[in-house]
């Protein structure tokens, strides 16, 4: 093993292509359905929301799609980020395992989200879009898209889940600094938001609701605004593949190959970003790396949800897809501080978990913050609460290797820093954070509202 502390690639090593796992997928893709008719979508339905170039990427089965030169130049502002061996953490754990992390927190917005935000802003600009709408939960996605929209001179409206809007004023200000208009969702600006506020003026919001508002604004704008999503969709996951492609080269520089690759999962994009290039190596080149997705036990779509067709948003305005879901009406508790609150999961990831190509575990939030602090003490980075789910699982793997006296090579994606997440850290440090049991009854109720899909066999 090399003694080097950081494995750095040159600018010229930045991938020239995104990897599209759909080309190598051993499971047939399921159709994407219209929410009104539950019939397969056509490009015209999607073109209300997305520019044509992204729609083509969404349905593409090409193995590689070229990254335009103009976009690569912007990626080079922060890519390729380093791969670091977590030697101090290994020492603190006393493990024979070798732990590596790919650090996406070095991007200007502090997470992996710019990898797709910049690409989506670029293709919207090329397609003639003037303004975008989006949702954001904890604010990382909104921050990335605000930065990217400014680079391409696009207006942006962000519907931010109300509980996060109140807990994270600095994320809101970050977005506003880049000229975005940020609203606490549910808002009085949409029919759907108004209907929810009439029932409950204190509705804390959810990602599903914020998506519905952003979709409603774009869909009723007469073509003036398009919508942008920060996870879940095939094209978004594909844009993130630069993470894994670089990590493959960096692991090679380190002279090791991972036995396990770990990422946290909200909608699946950072996990897919690091893991799908390794999945390709498993499928095509005989590697046997275990791919491990980590979710919070308060919102456990992969480990406790059902793999079925469901609406992507609460108001049933966006497409219906087959995914692991807790039900589109499921609202995770506001006390859950660890992010990752979406009710569903990327369809490709859901299918791969179902097919046994990817494993999934759920971790409780106190253990997640404990791992975050242990990591910060050893490595000096305060991780995003979302990413800390991956750290928890990486530590468990390292301790398991120790118990079995086994050398194991562990790679995880550190998808962002937590410098704007001090309110969540404060809750943990002051002992206010509680573990929240999986709300089985709420999920059972939400599952009664699934769409009745009857596709021809
Ligand atoms: C830092 C960070 N990591 C991970 C996620 C989860 O999203 P995804 O599963 O799409 O990577 C988020 C979501 O906002 C995030 O901010």
In whole angstroms, what is the distance from residue 49 CA to residue 35 CA? Answer: 14
Cα torsion 168, 174, 178, 179 to 10°: value is: 40
pLDDT of residue 70: 97
For the Cβ of 140 lying below 6 angstroms from any atom of ligand 1, the answer is yes
pLDDT of residue 337: 64
In whole angstroms, what is the distance from residue 285 CA to residue 359 CA? Answer: 20
pLDDT of residue 1: 62
R_g over Cα of the chain: 20
For the Cβ of 236 lying below 6 angstroms from any atom of ligand 1, the answer is no
In whole angstroms, what is the distance from residue 286 CA to residue 328 CA? Answer: 38
Alpha carbon nearest to ligand 1 atom 12, residue:
386
Task: Among 101, 140, 347, 421, name the best residue to mutate to test ligand 1's pocket (greatest count of ligand atoms within 8 A of Cβ).
Answer: 140
In whole angstroms, what is the distance from residue 262 CA to residue 278 CA? Answer: 11
Residue 119: both structure tokens together: 């690409």
List, for the chain, all residue ranges whose pLDDT scores fall below the cut of 70: 1, 334-338, 457
Residue 43: both structure tokens together: 């490009």
Atom of ligand 1 nearest to the CA of 138: 14
Atom of ligand 1 nearest to the CA of 110: 1
For the Cβ of 240 lying below 6 angstroms from any atom of ligand 1, the answer is no
Distance (angstroms) between ligand 1 centre and the Cα of 415 equals 7
The residue assigned the tokens 């995914």 is 323
For the Cβ of 137 lying below 6 angstroms from any atom of ligand 1, the answer is yes
In whole angstroms, what is the distance from residue 412 CA to residue 104 CA? Answer: 11
Atom of ligand 1 nearest to the CA of 273: 11
For the Cβ of 231 lying below 6 angstroms from any atom of ligand 1, the answer is yes
For the Cβ of 388 lying below 6 angstroms from any atom of ligand 1, the answer is no
Cα torsion 57, 178, 105, 427 to 10°: value is: -120
Task: Among 103, 106, 236, 386, name the best residue to mutate to test ligand 1's pocket (greatest count of ligand atoms within 8 A of Cβ).
Answer: 386
pLDDT of residue 355: 98
Alpha-carbon distances of 286 from 69, 278, 281, 289, rounded to whole Å:
32, 11, 7, 9
Beta strands in 186-259 (DSSP E): 225-227
Task: Among 101, 108, 112, name the best residue to mutate to test ligand 1's pocket (greatest count of ligand atoms within 8 A of Cβ).
Answer: 112
pLDDT of residue 331: 80
Distance (angstroms) between ligand 1 centre and the Cα of 266 equals 6
Residue 53: both structure tokens together: 């170039």
For the Cβ of 165 lying below 6 angstroms from any atom of ligand 1, the answer is no
The answer, as to whether pTM is greater than 0.85, is yes
Distance (angstroms) between ligand 1 centre and the Cα of 355 equals 23
Distance (angstroms) between ligand 1 centre and the Cα of 457 equals 35
pLDDT of residue 442: 85
pLDDT of residue 399: 98
Residue 294, beta-bridge partner list: 264, 361
């Amino acid at each position: 093993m090399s003694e080097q502390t950081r494995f750095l690639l040159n600018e010229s090593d930045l991938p020239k292509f995104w990897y599209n796992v759909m080309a190598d997928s051993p499971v047939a893709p399921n159709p994407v359905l219209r929410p009104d008719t539950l019939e397969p979508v056509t490009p015209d339905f999607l073109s209300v929301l997305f520019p044509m170039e992204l729609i083509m990427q969404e349905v593409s089965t090409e193995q590689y799609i070229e990254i335009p030169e103009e976009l690569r130049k912007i990626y080079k502002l922060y890519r390729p980020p380093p791969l670091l061996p977590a030697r101090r953490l290994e020492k603190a754990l006393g493990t024979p395992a070798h732990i590596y992390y790919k650090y996406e927190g070095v991007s200007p917005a502090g997470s992996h989200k710019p990898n797709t935000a910049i690409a989506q802003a670029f293709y919207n600009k090329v397609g003639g879009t003037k303004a975008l709408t989006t949702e954001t939960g904890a604010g990382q996605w909104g921050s990335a898209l605000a930065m990217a929209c400014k680079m391409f001179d696009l207006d942006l409206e962000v519907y931010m889940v109300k509980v996060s809007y109140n807990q994270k004023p600095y994320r809101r200000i970050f977005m506003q600094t880049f000229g975005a208009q940020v609203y606490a969702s549910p808002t009085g600006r949409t029919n759907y938001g108004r209907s929810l506020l009439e029932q409950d003026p204190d509705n804390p919001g959810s990602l599903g609701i914020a998506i519905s508002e952003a979709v409603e604004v774009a869909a009723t704008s007469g073509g003036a605004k398009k919508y942008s999503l920060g996870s879940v969709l095939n094209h978004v996951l594909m844009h993130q593949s630069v993470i894994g492609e670089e990590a493959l080269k960096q692991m090679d520089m380190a002279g090791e190959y991972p036995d396990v690759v770990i990422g946290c999962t909200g909608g699946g994009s950072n996990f897919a970003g690091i893991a799908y290039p390794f999945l390709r190596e498993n499928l095509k080149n005989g590697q046997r790396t275990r791919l491990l997705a980590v979710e919070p036990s308060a919102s456990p779509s992969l480990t406790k949800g059902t793999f079925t067709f469901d609406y992507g948003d609460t108001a049933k305005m966006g497409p219906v897809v087959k995914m692991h879901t807790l039900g589109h009406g499921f609202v995770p508790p506001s006390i859950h501080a660890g992010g990752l609150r979406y009710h569903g999961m990327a369809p490709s990831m859901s299918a791969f978990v179902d097919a046994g190509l990817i494993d999934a575990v759920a971790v409780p939030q106190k253990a997640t913050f404990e791992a975050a602090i242990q990591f910060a003490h050893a490595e000096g980075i305060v991780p995003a609460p979302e990413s800390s789910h991956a750290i928890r699982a990486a530590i468990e793997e390292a301790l398991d290797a120790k118990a079995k006296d086994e050398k194991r090579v562990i790679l995880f994606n550190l998808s962002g820093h937590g410098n704007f997440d001090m309110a969540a850290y404060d809750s943990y440090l002051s002992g206010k954070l509680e573990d929240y049991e999986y709300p089985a009854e709420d999920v059972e109720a939400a599952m009664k509202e699934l769409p009745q899909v009857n596709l021809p066999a």
